[in-house]
């Protein structure tokens, strides 16, 4: 499966769906981004059940700013609309495989329960 380009219009719809979505924030002038690109592409070929996407931070500066992307490349991993991983830096293939395995193994019922608890705590703190 090839990677898909995301923009401000398609970002939320893509990450909020069911399943795993990996987002690579990059720019054409970024050396580490160019090094990471073939690793990311190869992972997309091996993991057809995952949606692999890319955001060009030059073309999508507003989106990158809203997501507080301060260093590129940055990799984000979402599962069922919940951000599980957010880290700057080019990953070697083995490290990317470890991230993918970890995201697959997460107990999403536990994550949803924790998110609900945090939202409830925030709501009671604001009241």
Categorize the per-residue pLDDT at 127 as very low, low, confident or very high, splitting at 50, 70 and 90. Answer: low
Task: Encode pLDDT of 1-40 as tens digits.
Answer: 578 999 999 999 999 999 999 999 999 999 999 999 999 9
Q: Is the dihedral of CA 27, 28, 31, 37 positive or negative?
A: positive
CA distances from 52 to 36, 75, 96 (A): 13, 11, 12
Q: Are strands 20-26 and 4-5 parallel, antiparallel or unpaired?
A: unpaired
Told to judge if 52 belongs to the known catalytic residues of this protein, a careful annotator would answer no
Mean pLDDT of the chain: 94
Catalytic residue among 15, 33, 39, 55: 33
Told to judge if 33 belongs to the known catalytic residues of this protein, a careful annotator would answer yes
Distance from C-alpha of 108 to C-alpha of 99, rounded to nearest angstrom: 16
Q: Would you call 112 helix, strand, or coil by DSSP?
A: helix
Catalytic residue among 21, 30, 37, 91: 30
Choose which CATH entry (3.30.1180.20, 3.40.50.2000, 3.40.50.150, 3.40.30.10) describes domain 4-126: 3.40.30.10
Q: Would you call 69 helix, strand, or coil by DSSP?
A: coil
Task: Encode pLDDT of 87-114 as tens digits.
Answer: 999 999 999 999 999 999 999 999 999 8
**For the sheet containing 82-88, what is the strand order?**
4-5, 51-56, 20-26, 74-79, 82-88
Distance from C-alpha of 108 to C-alpha of 114, rounded to nearest angstrom: 10
């Amino acid at each position: 499966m090839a990677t898909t380009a995301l923009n401000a219009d398609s970002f939320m719809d893509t990450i909020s769906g069911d399943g795993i979505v990996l987002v690579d924030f990059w720019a054409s002038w970024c050396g580490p981004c160019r090094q990471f690109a073939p690793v990311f592409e190869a992972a997309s070929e091996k993991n057809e059940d995952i949606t692999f996407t890319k955001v060009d931070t030059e073309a999508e500066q507003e989106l990158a700013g809203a997501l507080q992307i301060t260093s590129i490349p940055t990799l984000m991993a979402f599962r069922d609309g919940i951000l599980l991983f957010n880290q700057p830096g080019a990953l070697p293939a083995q490290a990317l495989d470890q991230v993918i395995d970890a995201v697959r193994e997460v107990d999403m019922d536990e994550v949803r329960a924790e998110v609900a608890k945090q939202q409830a705590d925030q709501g009671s703190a604001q009241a």
